[in-house]
Amino acid sequence: MDAVATELLKVGPLGAIIIAMAIYIWRRDKEHRHERDRLMTEITTIHERRIADSHAVTTTVLQLNDKWNGTVNSFATIMDAQKDTMVEVREALRDLRPPPRGR
């Protein structure tokens, strides 16, 4: 690099301008890489948090779904028991009716 810089300086002011531009571009590129790395780290952190949030939401939804299914199953069991009870009540009432009177 020193040999290239020496040759560019021999060219005169144009060589010095080229060297200054090369240094400026190198510094800006270094700053941009640093900023890109910082942003990628931030994006990765946010992404990981969102994944954790989605897992928490999914777990909660599945728990609520299990609870709901349990409630529906309990309700179905209660309805079956109520149906059976109503049949027994109907049969008991039929047995309690007096025999029909003759006309």
Which residues make Cβ contacts (< 8 Å) with residue 11, sequence separation at least 6? 18
Tokens 């003759």 identify what position? 102
In a domain, 28, yes or no: yes
pTM of the model as a whole: 0.53
pLDDT, tens digit, 9 for 90 and up, residues 55-103: 999 999 999 999 999 999 999 999 999 999 999 998 888 877 776 776 5
- Domain span including residue 50: 2-95
> What is the total count of domains within the chain?
1
In a domain, 100, yes or no: no
Residue 93 tokens read as 């009432």
In a domain, 102, yes or no: no
In a domain, 50, yes or no: yes
pLDDT, tens digit, 9 for 90 and up, residues 29-48: 999 999 999 999 999 999 99
Core vs surface per residue 37-68: b (16+ CB within 10 A) or e: eeeeeeeeeeeeeeeeeeeeeeeeeeeeeeee
In a domain, 31, yes or no: yes
Dihedral sign (CA 22, 26, 31, 36): positive
